[in-house]
A and B are shown apart, each in its own frame.
Chain A
Amino acid sequence: MDVELRGITKRFGSVVANDNVNLTIRAGEVLGLLGENGAGKSTMMNMLSGLYSPDEGQILVDGKPVEFDGPGDGIEAGIGMVHQHFMLVPVFTVAENVVLGVEPTGKMGYLDMKRARRQVEEINEKYGLHVPPDELIEELSVGIQQRVEILKVLFRSADVLILDEPTAVLTPQEVHEFFGIVNTLKEAGKAIVFITHKLHEILEISDRVSVLRQGRITGEGYPKDLTEADLAEMMVGRPVSFTTAKNTATPGRTMLELEGVSMLDETDDRVLDNVSITVRSGEVVGVAGVQGNGQTELVEAITGLERIASGKITFDGENISHASVRERHKMGMAHIPEDRHKSGMVDSFTIAENMVLNNYYAPEYSKGWAIDWQKVAETAARYCVDFDVRTPSVFLPGGSLSGGNQQKMVVARELERETKLVVASQPTRGVDVGSIEYIHERLIGSRDEGDGVLIVSSELDEVLGLSDRIYVMYDGRIVAEFDNTDGKADRNTVGLAMAGSFGEDAA
């Protein structure tokens, strides 16, 4: 089945998300769609799946114009979407998730789960997906959950599969396996749209590439004719260097030390298992790993957000194992949280208020029991200038900023203070390339001023590019440590460790 987008425009208020976009998707072909966060990729695909309807232009399926006006319409026309954030019900089984909406039924609406299971098995076999139909989603790894998503659209006999940032949550090895599945699908005659912002993946898997910037198609071509640098320029609009310039680190005294730290969740499962790491002043230490292998908990343990069950945490010579969040903060620990919307900022508060979110009690902003808001506003304005946070006023709500500026606001708040240790969790998630470069520069700047910097990221490239030393986490444990002075750690070896298949013989 072929699908064509012709002159598609979509606006949200005054924002033009898609501007006169033309695109063709062909059966038996992988179309790579490249673009930064906010370039309009997701909007475009949501129109294909029927979630949005375009303001202008036409969608043609096999040459015939179609109109979608509901989320179910896309899939009915054979266009299936695998979302970046999985659309799976965690407490349902695989089979229940797969059949939801197109359930096999018996008399009186009876749900025929036996038949559902059989149908799941059939597709499993046909495409080699190996998904257990009776497991609960919440008990499966992200990689398997993704296959359930694919199974879902195949079950609805989709001929066009849209894969939105499918590799973001996978290890390099899983990505390899995943590409295998994509190729099987392609050979079965499916048309595939592969959306990503990772250049090397696009070159590896696509048959054809389209690049989107600020809602417009800014480049098209075939992988064999293109280099990463070409693609990057089409994507960002200027030449980009993806390596952050930095000197060799000069590590000093031990700033942070974790010795045998373990943490339990509510059900007494070990989410951190005997973790020992050190961060010295003047070095960047990266923690690599697939999402959900204990990185979040590691940061919570270090910053004091969750209590640890055993072990010892030392910060600049002091035992802080049971110190509160605020005590650690006062001692000079900066924390850039992994999800700024969830915890790093309050959308409805002004930028000024957000700039002192965790520092509002400091003597310099105090007037007795009250806060000196004039002083806060001055500080906020200075931070905005320093960190290039683009806003007309510090009295506007933090939520009114763009994603990149929000993140810069959070980073400014954390780094402008006198700090000794910076804990940065996913510091550039959902941020445009310009802001990414800027934030990376500032993190290296903190290192050069003598801070210890701990970067936790699921983007392996980010960890490799910034860190002087790398730990790899898997299943709540530190499974490997690499020296990355002058970028000498090997991408593949780190990737292997992330998958947990890194035996003792590898040493």
Chain B
Amino acid sequence: MTDREQRVLDALEQNRRRPPRFDAPRIDMSHGAGGKATHKLIEGLLLPVLENPALAPLSDAALLPFGEAKLALTTDSFVVRPLVFPGGSIGELAVNGTVNDLAVSGATPLGISAALIIEEGLDTEILSREVRAIAKAAETAGVPVATGDTKVVERGKADGLYVITTGLGIADPELNLSPAAARPGDKILCSGTLGDHGAAILIARGDLELEAEVLSDTRPLTPLTRALKRSAGPGLRFMRDPTRGGVGTVLNELARDSGYGVALWEEKIPVRDVVNGACEILGIDPLYVANEGKLLAVVSPEHADAALEALRGVEGGEEASIIGEVREEPARMVLMHTGFGGTRMIDMLVGDPLPRIC
């Protein structure tokens, strides 16, 4: 490597470590896609203003000291179109999404709130069905909807219904989950097939005239996180549910925040044929497609096999797989060994996953 190349690379690296500046004149759809633009929005605009120790780790749920214990607090808003899709609906999604943010933080959910923003003109039958979906999902997850709110906005101001849920849980005092806990050699477990939710939504929107039976994977992850805690104990380093931005984005966050590299084996990554097919036609990579009932876990090598067995023994974890591992190199990057026998660098999602023409 020449001196000049080294200087250029050093400058890039310095740039990368600098806190991002948010310089877009207005918000566009890429800021909501969960990838690089969303990161810039959060770290460049929100975090500097709201800065505090509970927020700083930007984890799925914040941990707040409360006497001897730690409370876990999380919130999420749901703006999905269509409201009902194969495999689920917005009400169910809203409960599971928040329960899952608590679950992957290692917390036991105590209760959730649900705020409904309803568009003028929404059929009562639709609202009533979604409220029942909320109730049913909460019952399945074993968590009460303890409080809530309703607002009605004028026609055209919401896609029928938006749901915002907040979850409160109690953190497991035994666990110290964080990307910084990851060590080279740790295994990366994935609890099942990837891309089902995002593919189901794309197909359900009907713009594509694709006919394929893909169901959203929305489900509470609490049984899976319990199984992991039991089987891996202190070997459990970190968990996250790869929603917006998909597995590619979550693993880049892991690489960046741990300082280590992540290696993946493509053939170990479970993707349904039909999801693969839909992605292939659309020119979208399943690694960046959203999931709503899957988790990624980093587990120490000596506990990995037991953790995998435990996941496979739980409903929703039957197709769990060890998809990769943490390595010293390439530091702060994600590298995939392709099924074809080559390697490929996996970047964070850049904007919305947009179909390619070429």
The answer to whether A and B belong to the same complex is no
